[in-house]
């Protein structure tokens, strides 16, 4: 079938909305009419050459309505409202032990550009286009494996829900699933973007005593306080490590690092108390750490966290329920854009003007 999709043709080029061909779905796949899709930093990284091979149709926070199901799909049906999340095989040791986010085929299935069967579902003028995260939701329609798909309630605005599939799931899941802090403990969150602020809301739900957010932008720090932070620090104005140790009488129990900036990663380690734990989710580069002084002698733990260590089919409905109860107001992070304004959405996300852009696809 012919669809409209935002095509990334080469490194650094703006996306172009063009007509492409979507092939027939396989037995274990579904066809989704995309209602809306989030714009994520990982999409921007791929546009800059650190993702699926060019040319590609990006997008990995899709939300839509199922139009057709493959013959081997029994848990979904036409008309279901769904959120699309990351791809995983469902068969390796990681998937079978409840760590689908660490699937042994994760890089292949999310960034390799092909569907699970090794074929391309999207073509343009007989040339294959790469699929992204097994969904390519910057398009009017998407084909996704059943493992990518999360059925959601129909009583919530579907256009809001796409970012739950990646960015918001990552921030909240890193707190709830990876760190699992005890009530009354302390947490520092480095970076007040959509991922960091999702961590704030999760920390509030879990009853933490001190929730400290570090950022450089006043608007983000103000929103952090509104969403549940107990303290906010502007990294340009204070010695972050010293101030955190003052607030917490010695350092935080836990931390979430979302920026990927080497100096900030070091701050997140140095501001931990003895036996503290930091989860790194930001995509960054090399960091020079003195292992003995910074980690070993105080028993600190540094872990990587991918997709909030979540099982999307279980965790995303939980977040939606929290939203319904007024405990997880992630809609305060969102700004909507028309599909045609996709490049503007990327620009305003990069500048910090918008925390979480969502593209409205269906008219």
Q: What is the pLDDT of residues 155-191, one digit of tens each?
A: 999 999 999 999 999 999 999 999 999 999 999 999 9
Compute the distance between CA of residue 210 and CA of residue 187 in angstroms, rounded to an integer: 6
DSSP state of 1: -
pLDDT tens track for 206-242: 999 999 999 999 999 999 999 999 999 999 999 999 9
Cβ atoms 279, 257 nearer than 8 A? yes
Across 339-353, b (16+ Cβ under 10 Å) vs e yields beebbebbebbeeee
Across 309-337, b (16+ Cβ under 10 Å) vs e yields bbbbbebbbebbebbeeeebebeebbeeb
Compute the distance between CA of residue 20 and CA of residue 5 in angstroms, rounded to an integer: 7
Closest CA to 143 of 15, 52, 33: 33
Q: Is the pLDDT of residue 60 over 90?
A: yes
Categorize the per-residue pLDDT at 6 as very low, low, confident or very high, splitting at 50, 70 and 90: very high
Please provide the size of the chain in residues: 363
Q: Is the pLDDT of residue 363 over 80?
A: no
| Contacts of 14 by beta carbon, 8 Å cutoff, 6+ apart | 343
The reply to whether domains 2-165+329-360 and 170-305 share a CATH topology is: no
Q: Is the pLDDT of residue 282 over 90?
A: no
Q: Average pLDDT, whole number, for the chain?
A: 96
Mean pLDDT to the nearest integer, 3-21: 96
CA 58-60-61 angle, to 5 degrees, is 135
Q: What is the pLDDT of residue 352?
A: 87
Provide the sign of the torsion angle of the four alpha carbons 114, 115, 116, 118, taken in this order.
negative
Q: What is the pLDDT of residue 321?
A: 98
Which H or E element spans position 64? Answer: strand 62-69
Which residues pair with residue 127 across a beta bridge?
A: 124
Cβ atoms 175, 98 nearer than 8 A? no
Categorize the per-residue pLDDT at 249 as very low, low, confident or very high, splitting at 50, 70 and 90: very high
Categorize the per-residue pLDDT at 284 as very low, low, confident or very high, splitting at 50, 70 and 90: confident
Q: Is the pLDDT of residue 329 over 80?
A: yes
The structure tokens listed for 97 are 């032990």
Q: Is domain 2-165+329-360 annotated with CATH 3.90.180.10?
A: yes
Cβ atoms 69, 84 nearer than 8 A? no
* Secondary structure of residue 143 in the 3-state scheme: strand
Categorize the per-residue pLDDT at 131 as very low, low, confident or very high, splitting at 50, 70 and 90: very high
Closest CA to 250 of 197, 182, 188: 188
* Secondary structure of residue 235 in the 3-state scheme: coil
Instruction: Break the chain into its structural domains and give their ranges.
Output: 2-165+329-360, 170-305
Q: Which CATH superfamily is domain 170-305 in?
A: NAD(P)-binding Rossmann-like Domain (3.40.50.720)
Other Cβ atoms within 10 Å of 241 Cβ, number: 17
Closest CA to 269 of 282, 261, 278: 278
First CA to last CA distance, the chain = 18
Mean pLDDT to the nearest integer, 332-349: 97
Cβ atoms 138, 3 nearer than 8 A? no
Which residues pair with residue 187 across a beta bridge?
A: 211, 254
Strands 62-69 and 81-84 come out as: antiparallel
């Amino acid at each position: 079938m012919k669809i409209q999709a935002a095509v990334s043709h080469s490194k650094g080029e703006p996306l172009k909305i063009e007509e492409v061909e979507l092939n027939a779905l396989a037995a274990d796949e579904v066809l989704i009419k995309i209602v809306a899709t989030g714009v994520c930093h990982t999409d921007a990284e791929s546009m800059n050459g650190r993702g699926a091979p060019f040319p590609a149709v990006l997008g990995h926070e899709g939300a839509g309505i199922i139009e057709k199901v493959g013959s081997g799909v029994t848990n979904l049906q036409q008309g279901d409202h769904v959120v699309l999340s990351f791809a995983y095989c469902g068969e390796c040791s990681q998937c079978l032990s409840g760590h689908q986010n660490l699937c042994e085929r994760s890089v292949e299935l999310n960034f390799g550009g092909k569907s699970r069967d090794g074929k391309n579902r999207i073509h343009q003028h007989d040339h294959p286009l790469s699929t992204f995260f097994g969904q390519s939701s910057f398009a009017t329609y998407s084909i996704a494996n059943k493992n990518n798909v999360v059925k959601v309630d129909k009583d919530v605005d579907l256009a809001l829900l796409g970012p739950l599939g990646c960015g918001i799931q990552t921030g909240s899941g890193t707190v709830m699933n990876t760190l699992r802090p005890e009530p009354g403990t302390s947490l520092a969150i480095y970076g007040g973007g959509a991922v960091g602020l999702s961590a704030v809301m999760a920390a509030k739900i879990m009853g933490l005593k001190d929730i400290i957010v570090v950022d450089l932008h006043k608007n983000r720090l103000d929103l952090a306080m509104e969403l549940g932070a107990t303290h906010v620090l502007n990294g340009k104005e204070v010695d972050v490590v010293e101030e955190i140790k003052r607030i917490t009488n010695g350092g935080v129990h836990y931390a979430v690092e979302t920026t990927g900036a080497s100096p900030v990663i070091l701050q997140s380690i140095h501001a931990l108390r003895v036996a503290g734990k930091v989860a790194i989710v930001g995509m960054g580069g090399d960091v020079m750490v003195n292992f003995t002084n910074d980690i070993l002698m105080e028993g600190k733990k540094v872990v990587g966290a991918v997709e909030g260590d979540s099982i999307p089919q279980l965790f995303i409905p939980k977040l939606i329920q929290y939203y319904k109860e007024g405990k997880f107001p992630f809609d305060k992070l969102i700004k909507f854009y028309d599909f045609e304004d996709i490049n503007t959405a990327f620009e305003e996300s990069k500048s910090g003007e918008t925390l979480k852009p969502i593209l409205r696809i269906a008219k």
